[in-house]
A and B are shown apart, each in its own frame.
Chain A
């Protein structure tokens, strides 16, 4: 059919890039990971020892678990904060209020990550402005989570906002007319219809979180170690095979979770989200 052909033509350039670049990278990483020799040359004898080491290393699994859990916690928290916030912005009557709020939400990504974490370190300190309110957050998991939610908030708010705006207001009214209270209207009509935005937000946030390096490194105090840090170390140590294997592992897990999100979203929205 015609639309099929058009679809192919439209997806082609992006996919071509993705294949040329991303697939090359994955192939490269895979080739690196399947060698024991520490060389960055394109070809080297195949050896699965590295995979064996990585897969049997308890520490790697522990870090991987931390990474994925951190990704899940941060993405869920971010969406939980972002959804109501997006709704609040959507219902703002005066354009200048909305514009201001949009800018505020955007502002964290304008600030370099090192400086931003410095700000958080200042805030969460024991003798900081909030006193002992955040005792034990800094250089522990909660501090890392808070700072990540902070910077990734815009990546969730904006897709959700765009989705909320595209829902015909009449549908919410129809639901109200049929006796659905605010909660039901939200769960059964608003949420499913805005699921594409939520999905987009949660996917972006998750992907960004599990690849984050600086924030966990600076605010984790060595207690929160994510795979990006381990990979960074391996590269500094010239252990290309280990770094590559870990990266491939992370990528596979990421793909798994990202697709899982799609499935979940489809479940919530009754089959529409993926469209």
Chain B
């Protein structure tokens, strides 16, 4: 069969390929998709995966054959949004997706390519024993008190390793990450880092064991750990969390029928009720008006609209453009000294 959804309506039936994230993050999209497929005689296949693996696959499939993308509709993060923009990967969201009008104004995409639906908040994850009172500032990552007990992600995962945040707080920006790199480099030289991590379970293990006491991390990731009773906490720094928006994109090269179906499906996804369900399942914060937090999160300050509004928002296109050069500097100045 063809790699993607293909034009695939030989039998008169439209077939659609949708990409969602793994585990709990796939449950709601899949449920909505199945219901939609059943109701509209559409065949939907699902690609379950991570952004890191699926995005390159998608891009190369389109580069090889622009008429036959690997998938038609997918859930992506801000970085992929920006990345796809540069490779002409996305279609504008059709007008028929009326629900995108409900997305918070701060999180709308100017080009109209895709729409953010939820965001995760990146703040500070910490070991409760080392922090009887939660940390309050991003600067505590570099506090000499925690020498050798800090970690973060290695390059080029700058969307999640706090480099852009630190750069911005030190007078830099997404397109000028050097101030941040300087801070990291100094810290690396001083032996601040226990090492860099490359998987979440590694982070969890190190935090529990106390090898690491503080690290930048997502609320959505920490939530299940906290629920499981780990001695772990999530803190919102006074400078604000970093917003990590996530949403849907329709892929260029899909057939008209596929675009139509994708649009209809996407509209359902952005229905405030469905967004609420998604947030409840994944511990993320809705970016769609009318969506409500689940009972679990309703009274948690870090999930409130205020957090969203105070969040540090990244200029993803700028960050993506700067990544290659920043990676080089990171390797030379930070990694070399760790």
Contacts and interface: CB of A to CB of B under 8 A. Distances in A.
A139 interface: yes
A239 interface: yes
Nearest to B206: A121
Contacts, number: 69
Interface of B: 52, 55-56, 59-61, 63-64, 83, 87, 154-156, 193-199, 201-202, 205, 209, 211, 323-324, 327-328, 331-332, 335, 338
Given A41-B63, A225-B335, A237-B323, A127 B209 contact: yes
Interface residues on A, range: 20 to 34
Nearest to A237: B156
Interface of A: 38-42, 59, 114, 118, 121-122, 125-127, 139, 217-218, 220-223, 225, 233, 235-240
Given A40-B60, A59-B331, A236-B56, A223 B156 contact: no
Contacts of B323: 237
Contacts of B63: 39-41
Contacts of B198: 217-218, 222
Contact of A233 (B59, B83, B155, B193): B155
A59 B325 CA distance: 13
A139 B205 CA distance: 14
A222 B324 contact: no
Nearest to A115: B201
B56 A218 contact: no
Given A41-B64, A122-B205, A217-B199, 18 more contacts: A40-B59, A40-B61, A40-B63, A41-B63, A42-B64, A59-B331, A114-B199, A118-B205, A121-B202, A125-B209, A125-B211, A126-B211, A221-B194, A221-B196, A221-B197, A222-B154, A223-B338, A236-B56
A221 B195 contact: yes
A268 B154 CA distance: 43
Contacts of A239: 324
Most chain B beta-carbon contacts within 10 A, residue among A59, A121, A221, A237: A221
Contacts of A223: 195, 335, 338
A141 B203 CA distance: 19
A118 B335 contact: no
B195 A118 contact: no
Given A40-B63, A118-B205, A236 B52 contact: yes
Closest 4 CB pairs of A and B: A221-B195, A222-B196, A40-B60, A139-B195
